[in-house]
Amino acid sequence: MLHRLGLTLLLAVWGQIAIAEPIDIKLPGVDGSEFSLASQRGKWVVLNVWATWCGPCVEELPELEAFNELHKDRDAVVIGVNYESISRTDLQQFVSRAGISYTVVMADAKPIPGLPRLKGVPTTFIVTPDGELARTYIGPVTAAGIELLINDLRGTSTGG
Domains of the chain, earliest start first: 17-143 (3.40.30.10)
The answer to whether residues 63 and 142 touch, using CB atoms and an 8 Å cutoff, is yes
Residues of the chain whose pLDDT is less than 50?
A: 2, 5-14, 16-19, 157-160
pLDDT for the residue 158 = 46
Rounded-to-integer distance, Cα 126 and Cα 46, Å: 5
Would the CA dihedral through 103, 107, 112, 116 be positive or negative? Answer: positive
pTM (whole model) above 0.95: no
